[in-house]
Amino acid sequence: MDIVAVKPETRDRKGFFIHEAAYKLMGVDRSGWAIICRNDATCHYVDPDDLQLPDVSGIALD
């Protein structure tokens, strides 16, 4: 599992804004949505193009 961040203004597949934070990338489903989770209870489906890899300080790279 990779740690990723989301770009500002990222929305999930239902159209809701996603909090800018570090997430675990769980994978990509068959329809192309990335599955990201903050913990065992909070996961989101997002466009993979809206993901960023954080730098060593934990801040997302542009």
How much is the pLDDT for 53? 83
49: which residues sit within 8 A by CB, 6+ positions away? none
Domain definitions of the chain by residue range: 2-52
Q: Which residues of the chain have pLDDT under 50?
A: none
Q: Compute the radius of gyration of the chain from its Cα atoms.
A: 11
At which residue do the structure tokens 């209870």 appear? Answer: 41
Q: What is the DSSP letter of 12?
A: B
* β-bridge partners, 6: 51
Q: pLDDT at position 57, please?
A: 59
Instruction: Assign domain 2-52 to its CATH architecture.
Output: Roll (2.30)
Backbone angles phi, psi at 3, to 5 degrees: -90, 130
